[in-house]
Amino acid sequence: MFKIKLGGGKTAEVEESMYWHTTSHIMAQAVKRLFPKAKLAIGPAIDEGFYYDFDVERPFTDEDKEKIEEEMKKIIKEDLPIERFELPRDEAIKLMKEKDEPYKVELIEELPEGEVISFYKQGEFTDLCRGPHLPSTGCVKAVKLLNNSGAYWKGSEKNKMLQRIYAISFPKASELDEYMTLLEERQARDHRKIGKDLKLFMTHPLVGAGLPMYLPDGATIRRVLERYIQDKELALGYWHVYTPSLATVNLYKTSGHWDHYKEDMFPMMKMDNEELVLRPMNCPHHMLIYKSDMRSYRDLPIKIGELAHDFRYENSGAVCGLERVRQMCQNDAHLFVRPDQIKEEVGKVINLIFEVYIKDFGFSRDSFKFRLSLRDKANKEKYIDNDEMWETAESGLREILKELDIEFYEAEGEAAFYGPKIDIQIKTALGHDVTIPTCQLDFALPERFELEYVGEDGEAHRPVVIHRAILGTSDRFISFLIEETKGNLPFWLCPKQVKILPIADRHLDYANKIKEELQKHNLRVEVDSRSEKIGYKIREAQLSKVPYMLIIGDKEQESNTVGVRSRGEGDIGAMKVEEFLNKAK
């Protein structure tokens, strides 16, 4: 909500969308004053600000945008009252034809019979509009035009290309300043831009939307990250398996995905006598691995992990870099436990999450929020139907969180279709919460796959399954990490950890000798052997965000040292190779 000042010292709270939409009328009025031939299309408020589409002879230049912004400020100063009036359909069409606004005529003609047709007028400017609006143009204070782009009328390539201007407004200049700083920060952190600059990944229309390809340096980050988490899990007694990305539809009918998750899956393929699908999750495969052998109560917990490729339908407009993709690599595991082990094992999962995020990646404990995600009781058809199971699982997780003394909040409608979950949200550098790790309790899949273990009493019992992901998907985790660090990844994850920069060609042999020495200690090292000036090499190495540069000239060569520059500390002087190795370790 925005606070605005009204006449007579009164103030009011208004919706941002109303404030921004009013500003879009002011922008349209300014454009009409400056470009009287411009035809108006639509100008809605969006999540952040608003846009307006115009049919003009040529795209707007930066100079045009400056003039438009100036004109808008004049209109705000004029403090024109905004008045609403209604017209019958034929008169509304007549008015818009008089004003030569063919897009508005089209919009009116499309309105269903009997709908009220309203207009808003401010000064000489009138726009077809449902409203509501602020009482006058003077209620708007700080405005800023942002980017502009081409946009098809009604979003269809078959229609004419219009010119869209995005903009935003606030009741206070300080709020606008804050927003502009946030935008800069967001751009500087955008993993798509950093990923492109650092050559980490690429996409190609021949491959398809939402299907990024990892370039060598991006692939190194991913390989190191995946080895790291896999080693960690192996040390905790997880088994790591490989299962196929495809399975028959019947597997997902058994698991319930076909009934509850089909919309998010790729369509089915027929081959020979089988109907196959690309899997959206790995759980069903892991259920079958559990079931492949007799299990005793002594064997439990059994922890089956996999770095597995999953495939989900994402709208082509929603896919984004590595963050939202159609093929993802899950850091997935399923823990098959006895009911008496649930609490201990969920506790261990939470400990592992803390170890990874706090100890190894350096996030603070304060940046975590725990959400207990429950089913939406008013929408039961979205979930597996078993009230008793849901009650047990939901209250079970609630108990565990309380016993672990973890603060949490509850959210209805956020559960998986097969059970409730604990979602761990992390506050990002830009201040919003993202959900990456999850831990879910599942009584349903063991039932559907008729999983069993032999209890102490010699009878068959049903295990409980804990689904958990620590890094979420490799893809999203990497995008998250890039945005958090602005590409300055922790040393152990950097695709190139050390760059050796010989000052002249005569230092190349010595440079290569150092490189071999460092490689023996498993460092990822590169020599910049080009005959470029040293200043140029340093600048390029800096842009590549390499943590250490070793500069090598006559002095270093003679004294058997290296001149060290660090990403964080700058020039830290000459040292022996062993000394540098200790520092790097």
Nearest distance from C-beta of residue 256 to Zn ion, angstroms: 12
Stretch that binds Zn ion, among 75-83, 87-95, 465-473, 567-575 (CB under 5 A): 465-473
Distance of CA 546 to the CA centre of its chain: 25
Q: Is 312 a catalytic residue?
A: yes
Catalytic choice (283, 329, 439, 494): 283
Catalytic choice (21, 133, 141, 312): 312
| Long-range contacts from 297-302, C-beta under 8 angstroms, 24+ separation | 297/338, 297/453, 297/454, 297/455, 297/456, 297/461, 299/453, 300/336, 300/337, 300/338, 300/341, 300/453, 300/463, 301/335, 301/336, 301/337, 301/338, 301/341, 301/345, 302/239, 302/335, 302/336
3-state secondary structure 208-237: CCCCCEECHHHHHHHHHHHHHHHHHHHHCC
Nearest distance from C-beta of residue 128 to Zn ion, angstroms: 8
Catalytic choice (104, 164, 285, 334): 334
* One of 30, 128, 129, 478 touching Zn ion (CB under 5 A): 129
Nearest distance from C-beta of residue 2 to Zn ion, angstroms: 16
Nearest distance from C-beta of residue 475 to Zn ion, angstroms: 17
Catalytic choice (32, 303, 375, 421): 421
Nearest distance from C-beta of residue 360 to Zn ion, angstroms: 24
Residue nearest to Zn ion (CB): 129
3-state secondary structure 120-150: EEECCEEEECCCCCCCEHHHCCEEEEEEEEE
- Pick 326 or 467: Cβ nearer Zn ion: 467
Stretch that binds Zn ion, among 83-91, 134-142, 230-238, 462-470 (CB under 5 A): 462-470
Does 328 help bind Zn ion (rule: CB under 5 A)? Answer: no
Helix, strand or coil, per DSSP, at residue 337: strand
- Pick 128 or 527: Cβ nearer Zn ion: 128
Tokens standing for 466? 């804990």
* One of 303, 326, 467, 515 touching Zn ion (CB under 5 A): 467
Q: Which helix (H) or strand (E) holds 16?
A: helix 16-34
Q: Is 191 a catalytic residue?
A: no
- Pick 467 or 537: Cβ nearer Zn ion: 467
Q: Which residue type sits at 473?
A: T
Q: How many residues bind Zn ion (CB under 5 A)?
A: 3
The conformation of residue 356, written as its DSSP 8-state character, comes to I
- Pick 30 or 283: Cβ nearer Zn ion: 283
Q: Is 330 a catalytic residue?
A: yes
Residue 568 has phi, psi (to 5 degrees) of -90, -40
User: In the range 27-86, which residues lie near Zn ion by CB under 5 A?
Assistant: none
Burial class (CB in 10 A: 0-12, 13-18, 19+), 104: buried
- Pick 125 or 368: Cβ nearer Zn ion: 125
Catalytic choice (127, 310, 332, 528): 332
Q: Cα separations (Å) of 177 from 173, 183, 300, 444, 532?
A: 6, 10, 57, 51, 41
Distance of CA 154 to the CA centre of its chain: 27
* One of 283, 346, 356, 471 touching Zn ion (CB under 5 A): 283
Stretch that binds Zn ion, among 10-18, 46-54, 278-286, 453-461 (CB under 5 A): 278-286
Q: Give catalytic residue positions.
A: 283, 312, 330, 332, 334, 421, 467
Contacting positions for Zn ion (CB under 5 A):
129, 283, 467
